[in-house]
Structure 1
Amino acid sequence: MASRKWSEMNGGQKFGVVAGAIVQLVLAGLAWSDLAHRPAKKVNGPKGVWAAVIAINYAGPIAYFLAGRKD
């Protein structure tokens, strides 16, 4: 699939890109905030590794919330 320039997108496509970016940034921000405030003993693995994993698109924050935290 060929990538499009912003100016070539219609309004709905621009909205989708912006909405997706906002969701991704909110997920990452929530995950980083949780990681920063959670004691290391309540995190599965090193906090530094999870901080890097969270930066991976949608998959990182979702992986952190599902597997990175101990209850």
Structure 2
Amino acid sequence: MAKKKWQDLSDRQKALIAGGAALDAGLRLYAGRDLATRERDEVRGPKWLWGVGLAVVNSVGVLPAIYLLLGRRSKPGGYDVTPG
């Protein structure tokens, strides 16, 4: 199967790709800012590894979502909705 060029995609396909890219970028930015403002003991796992993963791994929003749901500990005095 030959690769489709952008102009060969339907308007719906283009919208889905653009929407997915925007969602991924927004989640990465939010997760990256959250990670930057947390202390080491407020992050599950190595903070630097989360940072590299969020910056490099193209996960279509999956890695930022995993960090936001499972990679954070509560801030002192904060509300923690994550398990563990």
TM-score range relative to shorter protein: 0.7 to 0.9
Matches within 5 A, 1:58-69: 58-69=61-72
Please provide the CA RMSD for this pair: 1.5
CA deviations 1:22-63 (Å, max 9, x no partner) are: 000000110000000111111112111111222431221011
Q: Aligned residue for 1:3? A: 3
Rg: which structure is higher?
A: 2
Relative to its length, the structure with more helix (as a share) is: 1
Which ranges in structure 2 are unaligned for 5 or more consecutive residues?
A: 75-84
Residue 71 of structure 2 aligns with an amino acid whose one-letter code is G
TM-score of the aligned structures, taking structure 2 as reference length = 0.75
**Equivalent-residue separation in structure 2 for 1:2 and 1:41 (angstroms):** 49
1:70 aligns with 2:73: yes
Which ranges in structure 1 are unaligned for 5 or more consecutive residues?
A: none
Distance 1:37 1:21, change over 3 A: same
3-state SS, counterpart of residue 69 of structure 1: coil
Runs of 4 or more above 6 Å deviation: none
Report the number of matched residues.
71
TM-score of the aligned structures, taking structure 1 as reference length = 0.87
